[in-house]
Structure 1
Amino acid sequence: MRALRDALRAADIEGADFDARLLLEHVTGWSALDLVRDPNRALTMEQARALDAFQARRLQGEPVHRIIGYRDFHGLRFNLSPDTLEPRPDTEILVDAVAPWLRRRIETTGGCRLLDLGTGSGAIAVSLLKEVAGLLAVGTDLSAGALEAASGNAHINGVADRFETVRSDWFADVTGCFDAIVSNPPYIAHGEIDGLSRDVRDHDPMRALDGGEDGLDAYRAIAEGAGSFLSATGIIGLEIGWDQKSSVSAIFEEAGHALIDARKDYGGNDRVLVFRPDQA
């Protein structure tokens, strides 16, 4: 593990120590406690070769969670796919912001339907289904591969019976009315894509990153279409870029939605906005 850690440090890999431990644990099945209790245990030749291969991939810029094939999010495990974003901790803020409202909705009305636009790995919808008993969710995505990944993640986390997928470009093929709409849409301005870290730029799907010329195309589409699918007393929960609170708020207010909650991420940046129809 020291050799792997030092190789990653020498290549200026951010989080080299964490990555080394995660790769070793994945290859061997050993826990961090196992390493403390018996630090001199030997790898098999097969394990050593696998670790060498993983090291080479990490040194070439492949993210550690892409290498091992999964990432934990909101206490659950999500398998990754080339068609999906890698779920990240800041998106947990959206889950935490929306979950209490969904619970209250079920307590007062007996049911609640959620629409997750651009569901990707299904991280948001599946986490909310796990958190909120009785919730039903529909996840949409333009990518068939993403929908397959989301369905698989719903299955492994025990909520597949309450989760449905629909292949759709935003609202194009969506039907029905929903009590809540959530989304972590693409919000990076096109001209800023090249400046992203290579972990993101080279490995997350471009359609999940590129938000158009100013990064706001998806928000315009959601704001314009939401009124036809959201109940009169429903909410819209969105992840946003760190500098987009004012611009996204203006888009939704112009479309008839009032801002009712705004939350910052773990780094203190604006990250989540929650809206409801003005008349609610």
Structure 2
Amino acid sequence: MSLITRATTELAASGIEDARREARLLLEIAFGMTTGWQLGHGDSVIAEPDLFLSLVARRTRGEPVAYLAGKQGFWTLDLAVSADTLIPRADTETLIETLLAHRPQREAVRSVLDLGTGTGCLLLAALSEYPHATGIGVDRIPAATALAAANARTNGLAERCSFIVSRWDDAISGRFDVVLSNPPYIPGCDIPDLMRDVIDYEPLSALDGGADGLDDYRVLMPALTRLLAPGGLAVFEIGIGQDKTVPELGRSAGLRVADIRSDLGGHPRAVVFTL
């Protein structure tokens, strides 16, 4: 039995969908063998398969592929990931698409604040698109800000940003052209229903938004009135079914809802606020 067949069988038995594709991906992570190379050469040349088999075993227990690889692509960036941060999702790229739609002139943005920065994905993606901008990323977890700073260095953006350990905006002064945030927004009662890859490995503090999923929006909406510069905008991620409640929280805080945009799945995902 080939290694790929063995791994496919083990992954499928543990409930992993598209097990053969994942087996080939894990072989690439372990040895750098692309799928094309594997199809042309097979896996018979692998003399010491222990690393590959250990990755397969971890994946059968539900550990996300991004953690096994130690990295995840986001926008045009390659970002290191760890169990201290959420894995960046394609849905979150909707925030960057929305920002670019509202600020197409690359000279128009000079300052960016990212609240709950995690890997730094939103801040670093924004800085990659706005070459004259500088930014600050905030996270309450020191290991997250350290990882984000490392990602900034890896992507050549370290000189244009800094990272602060703080609870939301507590340590922030000044006003910003752009404020970005993907706060926790999953209602606490829905946490047990998440995929095991998520609840067993990703930080629940970055997911749990309280009883109705809105706890952190209630803190952040009033804060935007002092954080946004004149003419500035905030782009916030929201969860499914929150396209009415989150905008209403913003309006109640004195903000204007300028736009609501959907992700590729058709779900409202990004809300734009202005003063």
TM over 0.5: yes
Equivalent residue letter for 2:176: F
Q: Does structure 2 conserve the Cα–Cα contact (< 8 Å) formed by 1:223 and 1:255?
A: yes
**Residues 1:172 and 1:16: Cα distance change in structure 2 (over 3 Å):** same
Aligned counterparts of 2:185 and 2:118: Cα–Cα separation in 1:
15
Equivalent residue letter for 1:104: Q
Instruction: Measure how far apart 1:15 and its partner are.
Output: 4.2
**Residues 1:94 and 1:17: Cα distance change in structure 2 (over 3 Å):** farther
Equivalent residue letter for 1:57: R
**Residues 1:15 and 1:161: Cα distance change in structure 2 (over 3 Å):** farther
Aligned counterparts of 1:172 and 1:136: Cα–Cα separation in 2:
20
Match of 2:261 in 1: 263
1:203-232: CA deviation from partner (whole Å, max 9, x where unpaired) = 111210110111001111110111111112
Match of 2:74 in 1: 73
Instruction: Measure how far apart 1:131 and its partner are.
Output: 1.9
Equivalent residue letter for 2:202: D
Match of 1:148 in 2: 146
Equivalent residue letter for 1:25: E
Instruction: Measure how far apart 1:6 and its partner are.
Output: 2.6
**Residues 1:17 and 1:99: Cα distance change in structure 2 (over 3 Å):** farther
Instruction: Measure how far apart 1:100 and its partner are.
Output: 4.2
> Percent of aligned pairs with the same residue?
36
1:52 aligns with 2:53: yes
Instruction: Measure how far apart 1:102 and its partner are.
Output: 4.2
Match of 1:23 in 2: 26
Q: Of 201, 204, 207, which aligns to 2:205?
A: 207
1:223-259: CA deviation from partner (whole Å, max 9, x where unpaired) = 0111111112111101110110000010001111111
Match of 1:42 in 2: 45
Q: Does structure 1 conserve the Cα–Cα contact (< 8 Å) formed by 2:259 and 2:272?
A: yes
Q: How does 1:1-280 map to 2 (within 5 A)?
A: 1-39=4-42, 41-45=44-48, 48-104=49-105, 106-107=107-108, 112-277=110-275
Instruction: Measure how far apart 1:3 and its partner are.
Output: 2.4
Q: Does structure 1 conserve the Cα–Cα contact (< 8 Å) formed by 2:235 and 2:271?
A: yes
Q: Does structure 2 conserve the Cα–Cα contact (< 8 Å) formed by 1:240 and 1:273?
A: yes
State the aligned residue count: 272
Q: Which runs of 4+ in 1 moved over 3 A?
A: 100-103
Aligned counterparts of 2:25 and 2:173: Cα–Cα separation in 1:
42
Aligned counterparts of 1:245 and 1:39: Cα–Cα separation in 2:
49
Aligned counterparts of 2:153 and 2:100: Cα–Cα separation in 1:
20
**Residues 1:139 and 1:18: Cα distance change in structure 2 (over 3 Å):** farther
Q: Structure 1: where are the runs of 5+ without partners?
A: none
Q: Does structure 2 conserve the Cα–Cα contact (< 8 Å) formed by 1:140 and 1:166?
A: yes
Q: Does structure 2 conserve the Cα–Cα contact (< 8 Å) formed by 1:103 and 1:132?
A: no
Equivalent residue letter for 1:60: R
Aligned counterparts of 2:67 and 2:28: Cα–Cα separation in 1:
15
Aligned counterparts of 2:169 and 2:113: Cα–Cα separation in 1:
10
